[in-house]
Structure 1
Amino acid sequence: MPVIKRFIWIVLAVGLLAVVALGLDAGRFFTSPLHNTSGQLVTVESGMSFKSIADRLVEENVIVNPRDARYLSLYARYQGVANQIKAGEYAVPARQTPAHLLELLVSGKTRQYRITLVEGRRFSEIREQLEANDALEQKLTGKTEAEVMAAIGHPDEQPEGRFMPDTYLFPRGMTDIAFLKRAYDSMQTFLDDAWENRSESTVVESPYEALILASIVEKETAVPAERGRISGVFTRRLEKGMRLQTDPTVIYGIENYDGNIRRSDLRRDTPYNTYTRAGLPPTPIAMPSRAAIKAALDPAPGSALYFVSRGDGSHVFSDSLADHNRAVDKYQRGS
């Protein structure tokens, strides 16, 4: 055989062996679990090419070497999904196969963070909670309440009580604006539905008034069975033209409240002092729960006009001022 032919056959044989070796190596990569031995976070930024994503997986030590990253890139192109990767932060489980990793990146199932808005809290407390969460992109820091409401698309509305207490899941990078829009819409949807199904016995004249009354009910009791009764007391007082005389509204109107409510506070007139002013206060005083809204729109029947705390979270309800004063002496003054 001429030398040139032998050389060609040698080259072909070496090439074939290289292809076989490459195929075996690729097979090893795709049938073996990934290098990471524990769950790991990988961030895919908007606009990243798949090669850049694969390189990042190497940097994060999810894939052991650049050669394996090239295998993953080739496989993604072969599958036709290289341009279908969703941006976001992914929690890559330990020891997953490359195929499962690719499925995760295509699925867009990014890591979800959690914030729980607790009923009874004020809007100022919500803002502090959101600002403390580093998974949210902060756009509202330093903004006034009016600027916040304009940013979420509801200018000229007061923010207090407008956001639904609930647990919200969200991906890293969501803006605080988008988060508040979601909580606002959740509250509005529920409030509108509750208003459409309100009882004829409710005294409030608008969904916003329902929100105000519900916020007072929320602050007055944490006992689920009492919400309707508390609402019933306030409803009857409003019907009779009696002042609500509820401490939580007074507290809301006190600047720099120190935890103690004094007689002077009860006498000091503010828009929120329901001892000095008739009717509902001008805004909610906290975020009411779904249950409190339902109670405001469906007050329990009865004749009680007063209630006082027993000191254990529950209340004694009274029809007359004389009975109420005796209950106050027993449970508040200890006499």
Structure 2
Amino acid sequence: MKPVFRSIATYVTAAVGIAGVLIVLYAWDLPPFSGSVETTNDAYVRGQVTLISPQLAGYLVEVPVQDYQKVKTGDLIARIDDRIYVQKLAQAKAGQETAEASLANSEQSRKSAEAKIFSAKAAVESAQAAFDAAKTAYNRTQSLLKGNVSTQSDFEKAQATYDQAQAAVHQAQAEELVAEQDLNTIVVNRRSLEATVDSAKASVALADIDLQNTRITAPQDGHLGEVSGRLGQYVSIGTQIASLVPDYVWVVANYKEAQLDGMKPGQKVTFTVDALGHQSFNGRIERFAPATGSEFAVIKSDNATGNFTKVAQRIPVRIAIEPNQPLIDKLVPGMSVIARVDLAQQSDTATAQTD
């Protein structure tokens, strides 16, 4: 082969090699082609998945919903046989009525005891008056006896009347004290009866809550996942019968730690969704995870053992999705996305959502 052709072949081979290296550098976003846009395909749509379970046990008598159905807050998802809980509520109400009747009877007893105290006080006053009269008669007879005007027999009768009147006063005072103690007993018992009424009211409230809990309703707007509850199925506390995915979703993009330099809350993010034909959406950075994803793993690696190989860690970045975009209602948790952040932009912290 002539030298001129060898030179051309060498140049062509070199050009092809250089072009291949440049293509690889461009594909991997490496210098001199590295720009200000940081991209990751380790990103997903996220949302809150609520597992719906009953708070009490029983047989399901109604399951009016189906898989993937849209529901609103308060819509019935399932209903447990409520016959037992209806009777428990009636029983609790009857107990409350009994307790309230006992309390009302205690009020009547209190009024009766107060009346007895008034009667006892009147008896004391009457006995005291009789005692005063007997005392006067006794003193007068005693004086007359000394002057030989009265006989010993009259004096003894006056003394006996005096002693009886004094005893009657003591008896009336004792009866007044007993009446006061009876009133104190009724007052103390009333506190116990009031506590019994409060306990009965609480039992009614608890029974009413149990009756309401036989109706399992949607806690918020959203779409149901798979409905596992079946008509006639016996469920217990905590049995999963359905799952609910609220309409609010966001994106979590797991960027490598070397890509985070320059990222700030409020910066605009664009992302495409694989399941929607790579439809593009806009969002903004809300916040960054407080640790790398590996720190939240159940089984953490121990870099202090064996040979060490440095692995670039990823930090989750939460991205809020701008509202009122086409096909935004099609975004569901778990969808894969490709997120892009232009680090050359200025962050708008005023629009960033903060806690």
With normalisation by structure 1, the TM-score equals: 0.19
Higher RCO by CA contacts (8 Å cutoff, separation 6 or greater): 2
Bigger-Rg structure (1/2): 2
With normalisation by structure 2, the TM-score equals: 0.18
User: Would you tell me which structure has more strand in proportion to its own residues?
Assistant: 2
